[in-house]
Amino acid sequence: MNKFLVPPLHKNTKHLANVASNKIQPELVLNNARILSTYTDRIINNKEIWISKGRIVCIKELGEAKKRFNYKDLNLVDIENNILAPGLIDPHMHIESSMMTGCAYAEPALLNGTTTIFCDSHEIGNVCDIEGIEWMLEDCRKSPISIFLTLPSTIPATNNLLETSGGNLTPEKTAYLIDRWPEILALGEKMDFVSVCDGNERSHKIISETLKRNLPISGHIFGREFVAAYAASGVTDTHEAEEKLFTNDLLDAGLWIFLRGGNPQTPWNSLPEAVKAITELGASSKRVCVCTDDRDADDLFNFGLDWVVKQAYQLGIDKKIAWSMGSLHPATRYNIDRDYGALGHSRRADIVMLDDNFDVHSTWLGGKLVVKDKKITSLLDKELSNQRYKYPAKAYKTVKLPNKINFIPKIPNKNKFKINVIKTELPGIMTFQETITINNKLNSWNDILTTHNLCHICVIERHNKNGEFAHGFIKNFNLKEGAIASSVGHDAHNIIVAGLNEKDMKFATNIIQEYQGGIVIVKNCKIISSLKLPIAGLLSDKKANEVAKENKIFKGNWVKSGCTLAYMGFNLLSLSVIPNFRITNKGLVDVNSMKIIPLFENV
């Protein structure tokens, strides 16, 4: 059971017409329902949906099937006057952020009424290049939801002067993948927005290869000053609209906006400010969608796309329009609305049943019941248990570290010097450069760490390319003791380790190497909490509910360790396209100038 469950429309037009004309009995009738029409943003009462060959044949008046066919032969499901709506479509997300495979991802998605997703798999692409992307595509083909790909556009996120990635997706590789895989329907977020706006040759060749094939370009941009050049380069959507004026600029420049909703305890919830472009500035919602972007396993169950839709209507968007922003709008954006996004005749029977609060109770995928009374059905459970894609052995061997690593920097042999540190500032994910001046000769780092609330950080290349590592300091991270390490270091996914002493930092890194990927908290060379992510150092091979349970326990221990930056935010400290100051295996990066900055400078 996957997206190929429903045959192409061209094979069944005659059959569907015969069913709609009462000549052939429908395979399934969902009756006594209210219909949420995303075409007209209305709820229509007293209707029933006829389904055959995995598609919606037609919507009829309540009781029509009983009049036309033998009642005893009909497969009738009483919806009990609840609302039937199209399955949700997530226009921008990263499966790897959930730490589970594409097949496993289907469980929380369907529970939340999401039947289609657009995945940008640039995480596994940064580790394993084309091979990793194709593993993910094979995985997604077996998943019991519809998964399309927005092809990773920026691998590496910057260039080999600023970081070392395991992948290198050239314009030629981009063209090859688009031509080979029909489920690639767009170019993924063009993260190197500064390079795009500066006219970088490689960046524009990748855009050009995509536009030649008549596919849209997705974006990732910060700063109103970049909007004009970015939009002029052919980019037509972004999920990084974080406040109303910026959102307004983007809409007027012709970009679709994907309002990102997320756990309010994390920095991912930019929807409340961005939606004000509609609720306060009067912009139309017709080119606005909602998305999740990044969700860990635990949050995926609790803050799915249905939750984002609710956030939109609680913040002033009409309920019915909010659901359209999560269904028909993304289908229209990616030109799949012939099959997806609405309960129109001949469309796929990807349907959810809602109560008046828009809580999801049941989900049908291609007319098959996969969620009933907020629980997965035996049919879906069987698929999730027995039909999953198995990643090759090579995918389990991607953490290759240098033999000798210095985890903390040598103290400069000077009486006076400056230290450039990374300052975190909640609640956002932006980081800032701060300079600390040292006015006396140091014998150890301990006093400096305590006085300035600093923590060591080291990024280590793990792709067996150069064995480089770089040092830094984080301010206001608030780790109490020990160390933490992660193989999920966006986007190059080198190892990030932070700690208060070298011994624990080394121990944490060794655990990551032993696991061949994961995240770990250690103290006194003992594991406090960990998550194993052996597939490309990014994914677990367990079922979704198991990963979510482990993830929830780990997050609790993360908070207990004192870390004020959420661990997903920690994993972004090496992402050198998010302002303002980051660290990679090459060193400290000034994102605004795209230059390496020394850790120590003369006074």
* pLDDT at position 63: 95
Token pair of 557 as six digits: 């221990």
Q: Tell me the mean pLDDT in the region 125-142.
A: 96
* pLDDT at position 289: 98
* pLDDT at position 2: 79
* pLDDT at position 584: 97
With the C-alpha atoms ordered 64, 69, 70, 74, is the resulting torsion angle positive or negative?
A: negative
With the C-alpha atoms ordered 256, 262, 264, 266, is the resulting torsion angle positive or negative?
A: negative
pLDDT-derived band at 1 (thresholds 50, 70, 90) equals confident
Kindly report which listed range (264-268, 447-451, 457-461, 589-593) carries the lowest average pLDDT score.
264-268
Q: What is the DSSP letter of 410?
A: P
**Locus of tokens 């993910």:** 136
Give 268 or 379, the one with higher predicted confidence: 379
* pLDDT at position 592: 87
* pLDDT at position 567: 87
**Distance of alpha carbon 435 from alpha carbon 590, whole angstroms:** 13
Computed over every residue of the chain, the mean pLDDT equals: 96
Helix ranges restricted to H, 78-188: 102-111, 122-142, 171-180
Q: Tell me the mean pLDDT in the region 117-141.
A: 97
Q: Which amino acid is at 32?
A: N
- Whether 348 and 6 have beta carbons less than 8 Å apart is answered as yes
Q: Which long-range contacts (CB under 8 A, 24 or more apart) does 283-287 make?
A: 283/247, 283/248, 283/251, 285/317, 285/321, 285/325, 285/329, 286/329, 287/251, 287/255, 287/256, 287/257, 287/329, 287/333
**Locus of tokens 């956030």:** 311
Measured in degrees and rounded to the nearest 5, phi and psi for residue 150 equal -100, 110
Asked if pLDDT for residue 4 goes beyond 80, the answer is: yes
Q: Tell me the mean pLDDT in the region 476-496.
A: 96
Residues of the chain with CATH 3.20.20.140: 85-390
The helix or strand, by DSSP H or E, that contains position 323, with its residue range, turns out to be: helix 319-325
Q: Which amino acid is at 320?
A: K
* pLDDT at position 44: 98
Asked if pLDDT for residue 470 goes beyond 90, the answer is: yes
Which residues in 38-162 belong to E strands, given as ranges?
42-52, 55-61, 76-78, 83-86, 88-93, 114-119, 146-151
Helix ranges restricted to H, 213-289: 227-232, 244-252, 271-274, 276-279
Asked if pLDDT for residue 349 goes beyond 90, the answer is: yes
Q: No. of H helices and E strands in the chain?
A: 20, 29
> How many residues would you count in the chain?
603
Q: Concatenated DSSP letters for 167-231? A: ----HHHHHHHHHH-TTEEEEEEE--HHHHHTT-HHHHHHHHHHHHTT--EEE----GGGHHHHH
| 188, burial (CB in 10 Å: exposed 0-12, middle 13-18, buried 19+) | buried
Asked if pLDDT for residue 267 goes beyond 90, the answer is: no
CATH, domain 85-390, list 3.40.50.720, 3.30.70.660, 3.20.20.140, 3.30.70.2740: 3.20.20.140
Which residues in 461-597 belong to E strands, given as ranges?
469-475, 483-486, 495-499, 518-523, 526-532, 581-584, 587-590, 595-597
Q: Which residues contact 477 (CB under 8 A, 6 or more apart)?
A: 424, 455, 498, 563, 564, 565, 570
**Distance of alpha carbon 142 from alpha carbon 363, whole angstroms:** 19
Per residue in 19-53, is it b (16+ CB within 10 Å) or e — as a string? bbeeeebbbbbbbbbbbbbbeebebeeebbbbbbb
Tens of pLDDT, residue by residue over 167-193, are 999 999 999 999 999 999 999 999 999
Measured in degrees and rounded to the nearest 5, phi and psi for residue 402 equal -65, 155
pLDDT-derived band at 233 (thresholds 50, 70, 90) equals very high
**Distance of alpha carbon 93 from alpha carbon 260, whole angstroms:** 10
Q: What percent of the chain has pLDDT over 70?
A: 100
The helix or strand, by DSSP H or E, that contains position 259, with its residue range, turns out to be: strand 256-260
Token pair of 456 as six digits: 């060591």
Asked if pLDDT for residue 266 goes beyond 90, the answer is: no
* pLDDT at position 426: 81
**Locus of tokens 């359209």:** 324
Q: Which amino acid is at 190?
A: K
Q: What is the DSSP letter of 400?
A: B
* pLDDT at position 242: 86
Query: pTM here?
Result: 0.95
Token pair of 231 as six digits: 């939009």
* pLDDT at position 3: 81
Tens of pLDDT, residue by residue over 509-561, are 999 999 999 999 999 999 999 999 999 999 999 999 999 999 999 999 999 99
- Whether 150 and 119 have beta carbons less than 8 Å apart is answered as yes
- Whether 218 and 150 have beta carbons less than 8 Å apart is answered as yes
First to last CA, the chain: 65
Asked if pLDDT for residue 72 goes beyond 90, the answer is: no
* pLDDT at position 146: 97
Q: What is the DSSP letter of 463?
A: B
Q: Which amino acid is at 498?
A: A
Q: Tell me the mean pLDDT in the region 241-250.
A: 95
Tens of pLDDT, residue by residue over 294-337, are 999 999 999 999 999 999 999 999 999 999 999 999 999 999 99
Q: Which amino acid is at 20?
A: A
Measured in degrees and rounded to the nearest 5, phi and psi for residue 446 equal -60, -45
pLDDT-derived band at 409 (thresholds 50, 70, 90) equals very high
Tens of pLDDT, residue by residue over 301-311, are 999 999 999 99
